Structure formats: C-alpha cells, structure tokens
C-alpha cells in the first residue's frame, strides 16, 4: 500500500517534469492568481516572501513548491490552503497563523474530498488545525514539522486531523503543542509511521472508529493524556515508544473497546499507567518493554481473552492492577523483575508461578489515598503474608511460566 502511494507521487512528479509549464511566483505577487492561470498538471514555484492571501483554493491538479520556505500567513483569520483536486502536491512552505473559530475547524492545510494528495516537508507554526483530511483517500503526509503553542483543549486544534478517510500514509512528521497530535475518526487502512508526537495538550494520538490501521515506530512523549485508541478493530501497533505521560488520566496507551488487535515490540517508560485497558478483547500484547511506569498494565474486569505474554516488566511501581476478581486474560511467559522464585531445573522458567497483582495495588485501587503508605515496612509485611497465602488477590491472576531473565527485547 505504501509502495503504491510512493509510485503515485513519483508519477505526479514525472508528469510535471515531462510536459508541464512551471509558473514562478515572487514576493508581492499572488499565488492564487498563478493557480488561476495555470492548467492542470503544471508546477508553481514560490519564491521566499510572506504571502497573505486570505485563503488559497487549489482546485486543479498542481504541484506547489516553496523555495526556501516562503511564508503563507493566515493572519489568524483564514484557512490558508484548501485542496479540492486530486493529485496535488504541496512542498516546502512555511504555513503559519491559520484562523481560529469555535464554529469551523479552520486548518492550515485542508484536503477536502480529494485523492492522491501529497503534503510534504512543510513547516506549520501556530495554526488552529494543522493538516485536515476530510474524505481524503490515498494522501501522503510526510516530513512536516507541525507546532503550535495551544494551552487549553478548546483553543487548540489537532496537528493532523483525519476524518472519514482511508489509505492515508502519515510518516516522519513532528507534531507538538496541538490538542491531539494525530486524530483519526472513521479512518481505515492507513499507516502512521515514524512520527514524533510530543507535548500535545491532550493525546499524542487519538484514534476512534478506525479499523485496520497500522502504526509503527512512532514516539509519543509527554502528552497530556498519552495515546487513546478507542472503538476500533484490527489495529496493529508495533515498535512505538510511549514515554513520560504523567497524570491521573494519562496513559502510555488507553485501549477502550478495542478488539482483535496487536501491540508488540513497543517501549513503555515512565508513564503513570503504561497500558490502560477497558472493554477490550482478543488483544495480543507481547514482546513489549515496560520500564519504570507507575502501573505496567491496568486491566479492567471488562476485558477478556487478551494474551499478555513475553513482555519485560522492569522497575514499575506496580506491574498489574485490576478492579475485579474475575480473570479472563492470560499472563504467561513474561519477565517480572519482582519475581522471587527459583529455577531448580535450569530451564530459564521459574518453578513457582508469579502473581503480578500485589495486595497493595488492590488496596490502592479501592482507596487512592493509601498510596501514601507505599513501600512502608508495614505494607511490606502485609504483602508478604498475602504472597504466602493469597486470600484477597484473585487466585487465577498469575504467570505460570515466569522468565528468570529479561527477554532480549
């Protein structure tokens, strides 16, 4: 799929070089006028300068290239670029100060009901919404640097916002200071690769009703609430990093009503809760690293048939927490650094099962303030007693094959 799209973009470039006219726009001239003049398949090159055009509409197949980042300024009033034609490429612009409206979701770049559009290597600063895909198909959004300095959820829009779109490729972008870094609603069969979503106000990535999507090699760090993946099926999450998401409602990743999906080879470090799962089923969570999180996995009783295996749990305050006593998920073959068992037959697997749910995690679940007693010698005594004779923690929540050494991840 990715390859197809590359070919398409290359094709566009090829056509332009072949038999199209190149229009030049210099500082003081109008880009919109050049678009009017040009015919489908042409290229427009824009020289450095600041262009305040109160909204530019691209309604024919064009390639717009900025030379040394000409500035397109929306003066905080207008949507800056609106693309309604297929096969449009926007590259090398600095697009700043889009309009803000509580009624309309004004964006720096809007792709509206268009296919095969490429938005590449642009710098977006201080916009309401960054790149907005609406009924877009086969769009490529790559290598953009998208920043804003929003302070509240209401005042800021999303960095890359996609709605009712499919076959999008979003890669190598840096997004910061928006409401959600990347927002997907009803977006299917798309890939999100190698992006960095950092310090956004709400979620680094926000995903709803978006099935069969893949996201890999992304880094989500210090976002207000981490990453939320909700109401979706068949999502693949590989090789991502979820770092430093702190707060009572902040998660490395929030999985709500997700099914038949996979999360593997990810790294979760220093999050309040690395994974929070609710109403999710048939997930495979394997080969991930959970390091120094408050909670490794908070799995609510509404989750079933999930497999959590072959992960490393290292230096987390709590490895597992849950709110019920029903256990419908499996936790086998993980490495838990808190495991204190032995391996007499030297097969690398502990001979006695490990119970990752500590008594104190349960106490804290019921009474938040008890957290102040964490690591108290008194609590230590209680936990030891509970480990020897489990009475309160669910009997079935255990790893029967705990690894003696960390898995090579």
Partner 1 sequence: MKKIIKYSLLDILRNRIILAYTLLLALVSISLFLLEDNPAKAIMSLLNISLLIVPLVSSIFCTIYLYNSAEFIELLVAQPIKRSRLLWGVYLGMITALLVALLLGIGLPLLILHPASTSLHLFLISCALTVVFASLATLSAVLTRDKAKGIGLSLLLWFYFTFIFDGLVLLVLFQLADYPLDTAMIGMSMLNPIDMARIGMLLQLDISAMMGLTGALFQDFFGTGAGLLLITFVMLIWMAFPILLAVRRFKNKDL
User: In the structure encoding, which two tokens stand for residue 321, read together?
Assistant: 């927490």
Query: Would you count residue 13 as binding partner 1 (CB under 8 A)?
Result: no
Query: Would you count residue 93 as binding partner 1 (CB under 8 A)?
Result: no
CA atoms within 13 A on the CB side of 237: 34
Query: Would you count residue 317 as binding partner 1 (CB under 8 A)?
Result: yes
Distance CA(156)–CA(177), nearest Å, equals 8
**Shortest Cβ distance from residue 368 to partner 1 (Å)?**
6
Query: Would you count residue 318 as binding partner 1 (CB under 8 A)?
Result: yes
With contacts defined by CB under 8 A, name the span among 190-198, 219-227, 345-353, 372-380 that binds partner 1. Answer: 372-380
Q: Check: CB of residue 141 under 8 Å from CB of residue 160.
A: yes
Cβ distance to partner 1 smaller for residue 13 or 379: 379
Among 128, 132, 290, 295, binds partner 1 (CB under 8 A): 295
Query: Would you count residue 392 as binding partner 1 (CB under 8 A)?
Result: no
Among 22, 381, 385, 392, binds partner 1 (CB under 8 A): 381
Distance CA(332)–CA(329), nearest Å, equals 10
Query: Would you count residue 292 as binding partner 1 (CB under 8 A)?
Result: yes
DSSP 8-state class, residue 294: S
Among 378, 388, 389, 391, binds partner 1 (CB under 8 A): 378
Among 11, 380, 385, 395, binds partner 1 (CB under 8 A): 380
User: In the structure encoding, which two tokens stand for residue 330, read together?
Assistant: 């499996």
With contacts defined by CB under 8 A, name the span among 16-24, 30-38, 241-249, 323-331 that binds partner 1. Answer: 241-249
Query: Would you count residue 102 as binding partner 1 (CB under 8 A)?
Result: no
Q: Which residues contact 128 (CB under 8 A, 6 or more apart)?
A: 98, 99, 100, 101, 105, 106, 107, 108, 148, 156, 157
Query: Would you count residue 369 as binding partner 1 (CB under 8 A)?
Result: yes
**Shortest Cβ distance from residue 292 to partner 1 (Å)?**
7
Distance CA(394)–CA(386), nearest Å, equals 11
Cβ distance to partner 1 smaller for residue 346 or 366: 366
**Shortest Cβ distance from residue 349 to partner 1 (Å)?**
19
Residue closest to 319 by CA, chosen among 304, 334, 341, 303:
334
Can you spell out the DSSP letters for 87-132?
Answer: S-EEES-EEE-----SSS--EEEEEES-BS-EEES-EEES-SEEEE
Among 370, 404, 407, 409, binds partner 1 (CB under 8 A): 370
Distance CA(270)–CA(249), nearest Å, equals 14
Query: Would you count residue 409 as binding partner 1 (CB under 8 A)?
Result: no
Residues in touch with partner 1 (CB under 8 A) = 246-248, 250, 270-273, 292-295, 314-315, 317-318, 337, 366-381
């Amino acid at each position: 799929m990715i390859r197809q799209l590359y070919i398409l973009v290359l094709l566009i470039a090829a056509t332009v070089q072949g038999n199209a006219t190149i229009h030049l726009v210099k500082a003081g001239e109008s880009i919109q006028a050049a678009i009017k003049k040009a015919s489908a398949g042409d290229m427009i090159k824009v020289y450095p300068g600041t262009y305040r055009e109160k909204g530019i509409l691209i309604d024919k197949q064009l390639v717009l290239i900025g030379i040394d980042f000409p500035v397109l300024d929306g003066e905080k009033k207008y949507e800056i670029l609106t693309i309604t034609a297929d096969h449009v490429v926007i590259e090398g612009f600095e697009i700043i100060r889009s309009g803000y409206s509580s009624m309309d979701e004004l964006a720096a770049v809007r792709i509206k009901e268009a296919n095969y559009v490429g938005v590449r290597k642009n710098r977006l600063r201080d916009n309401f919404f960054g790149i907005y895909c609406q009924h877009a198909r086969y769009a490529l959004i790559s290598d953009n640097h998208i920043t804003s300095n929003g302070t509240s959820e209401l005042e800021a829009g999303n960095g890359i916002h996609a709605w009712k779109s499919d076959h999008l490729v979003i890669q190598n972008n840096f997004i910061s200071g928006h409401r959600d870094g990347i927002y997907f609603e009803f977006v299917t069969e798309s890939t999100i690769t190698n992006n960095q979503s950092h310090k956004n106000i709400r979620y680094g990535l926000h995903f709803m009703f978006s099935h069969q999507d893949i996201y890999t090699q992304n880094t989500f760090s210090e976002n207000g609430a981490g990453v939320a993946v909700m109401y979706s099926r068949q999502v693949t999450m590989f090789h991502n990093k979820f770092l430093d998401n702190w707060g009572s409602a902040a998660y490395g990743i929030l999985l709500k009503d997700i099914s038949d999906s996979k999360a593997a080879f990810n790294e979760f470090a220093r999050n309040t809760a690395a994974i929070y799962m609710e109403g999710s089923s048939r997930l495979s969570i394997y080969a991930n690293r959970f390091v120094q999180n408050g909670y490794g996995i908070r799995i609510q009783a509404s989750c079933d048939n999930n497999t959590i295996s072959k992960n490393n749990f290292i230096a987390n305050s709590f490895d597992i927490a849950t709110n019920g006593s029903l256990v419908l998920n499996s936790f086998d073959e993980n490495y838990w650094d808190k495991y204190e068992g032995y391996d007499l037959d030297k097969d690398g697997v502990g001979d006695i099962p490990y119970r990752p749910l500590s008594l104190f995690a349960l106490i804290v679940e019921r009474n938040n303030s008890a957290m102040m007693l964490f690591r108290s010698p008194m609590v230590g005594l209680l936990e030891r007693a509970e480990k020897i004779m489990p009475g309160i923690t669910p009997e079935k929540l255990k790893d029967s094959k705990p690894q003696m050494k960390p898995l090579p991840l």
